[in-house]
A and B are shown apart, each in its own frame.
Chain A
Amino acid sequence: MNCLDILEKIGDYVDKELDPTLCVEIEKHLEDCDPCVAFVNTLKKTVELFNRAKISENSIPEPVSSKLRGFLKENISTAGE
């Protein structure tokens, strides 16, 4: 496995969806290839940063929520019943 093979398979590797045999080959390559290690580490960190960002987005500003409820009540005939 060479550096370009790593690049092709790295998405499934980071998502833990790669065949175990290929994982072993990737890790064997990484033992001797510092640029690929840096590449894999930074790609993993990129995904981690986004995963971390999603956790804090579980609230909505109250004015936005109020406007939404008002809009739906105006436009749905059964809303006021």
Chain B
Amino acid sequence: MNLFPPNGIGYMSKDARAKAAGTPAQSEEDLALISRVNGGDYGAFERLVRKYEARVYHHCLKFLNSQEDAEDVLQDTFLQAYRSLSGFRGEAAFSTWLMKIATNNCLMRIRKRKKVDIVSIDKPIDYDGSHLPREIVDWSKNPSLMSANDEIREVLDYTISLLPEDKRVVLILKDLEGFSNIEIGEMLGMSVAAVKSRLHRARLFMRDALSAYFEGTLKLAKTEPER
């Protein structure tokens, strides 16, 4: 059985190759705004804030699972960015540089909570074992996935919150924020190989969690977000 198109889905695309090898996609508009901010134009900084506030906010919200903490980190991130902007050299895209600040602030906030996340998914697949299970349910064509709906969205939010911190950050940056493995490595001070490894484990975890949901063994915990 071959469910894939003749030219395959796994080949590296032109864009992917360029991204894998390339330099950061630096926005000329951002560079012009940064130059004006460094010249004392606060209005230019407000334009940068307007441009990136939603992205930073949702990143923090996903990462911290707390609206109050996300708002605090959002504010700290832009203040820190403003104060550090004179040192911005353009070696990475401004968005990457900004998300690095946000990610570090999120990690610090989580460590302050001094809380250990206990993760439990029923019957996880033993990926370190010698074989894959023979019975894998293919839920990829489940009708409930055909359109975006609130429950699926809730399942995604919940399963992200189950991920251990080190894997959650990589999954959010890659699959929700769209950063390349190279950019994520720069942000987190890791090699691309280490990024790929964590991303792989995170996706396997999420696949397991979604499988458990579709098989009825994972129930959403209806809890208030952490404060």
B contact residues around A53 at 8 Å (CB): 153, 156, 176
B contact residues around A57 at 8 Å (CB): 54-55, 58, 176
A contact residues around B46 at 8 Å (CB): 69
Which one of A43, A52, A68 lies within 8 Å of B78 (CB-CB)? A68
What DSSP secondary structure best describes chain A's contact surface? helix
Instruction: Identify the B interface with A (CB < 8 A).
Output: 1-4, 8-13, 16, 20, 40, 42, 45-46, 49, 53-55, 57-58, 71, 74-75, 78-79, 82, 127, 130-141, 145, 148, 152-153, 156, 171, 175-178, 196, 199-200, 203-204, 206-207, 210-211
Residue of B nearest to A51 (CB): B175
CA distance in complex: A11, B205 (Å): 13
The total of interchain contacts (Cβ-Cβ below 8 angstroms) comes to: 159
Which one of A16, A30, A64 lies within 8 Å of B16 (CB-CB)? A16
Instruction: Identify the A interface with B (CB < 8 A).
Output: 3-4, 7, 10-20, 22-24, 26-27, 30-32, 34-39, 41-47, 49-54, 56-60, 64-65, 67-69, 71-72, 75-76, 78-79, 81
- The answer on a CB contact under 8 Å between A59 and B178 is no
CA distance in complex: A63, B137 (Å): 44
* Residue of A10, A11, A52, A69 ringed by the most chain B CB atoms within 10 A: A11
26 of the cross-chain contacts (CB-CB < 8 Å) are: A3-B131, A4-B131, A11-B203, A16-B10, A16-B11, A18-B11, A20-B12, A23-B10, A30-B1, A31-B2, A38-B137, A46-B207, A49-B152, A50-B171, A50-B176, A51-B175, A53-B153, A53-B176, A54-B178, A59-B54, A60-B54, A60-B57, A64-B74, A65-B53, A68-B71, A68-B75
CA distance in complex: A12, B153 (Å): 25
B contact residues around A39 at 8 Å (CB): 132, 136, 207
B47 to chain A, nearest CB (A): 12
Known: A26-B10, A46-B207, A50-B175. A78 touches B42 (CB 8 A): yes
CA distance in complex: A22, B36 (Å): 49
- The answer on a CB contact under 8 Å between B3 and A41 is yes
A49 to chain B, nearest CB (A): 6
CA distance in complex: A54, B79 (Å): 25
Which one of A22, A54, A69, A79 lies within 8 Å of B175 (CB-CB)? A54
7 more CB-based (< 8 A) A-B contacts, given A7-B132, A75-B79, A76-B42 = A7-B127, A14-B9, A35-B136, A41-B138, A42-B138, A50-B175, A72-B49
